[in-house]
Amino acid sequence: MPKQLIIEVENLPAVVRGWLRAANLGELDTVELVFTDREVLLRKPRSAKFVDWANPVIDEYDKAFRKLAGLE
């Protein structure tokens, strides 16, 4: 399961800030770091409105998956 955190850009090494500028993300104050089994992703943090909208959808998806997988 991926782990993620939001970090202030000023706390990142200069080389990483350079990567963000190259990806047109240099104007952000914070970025989201996502650690998966094989990757470290840097991405723009999700907006609060999106999170509020997505959480119920994700919950429904998780319920359906658990039911199909026989975990409930």
> Which pLDDT value is given to residue 22?
92
**Single-letter residue type at 58:** I
Per-residue pLDDT tens over the stretch 7-66: 899 999 999 999 989 988 888 888 888 888 888 888 888 777 777 777 787 788 788 888
Confidence tier at 1 by pLDDT (50, 70, 90): low
> Which pLDDT value is given to residue 15?
94
Q: CA 56, 8, 16, 26 torsion: positive or negative?
A: positive
Q: Which helix (H) or strand (E) holds 63?
A: helix 48-68
Total domain count, the chain: 1
**Domain span including residue 8:** 3-68
Cβ(19)–Cβ(42) under 8 Å?
yes
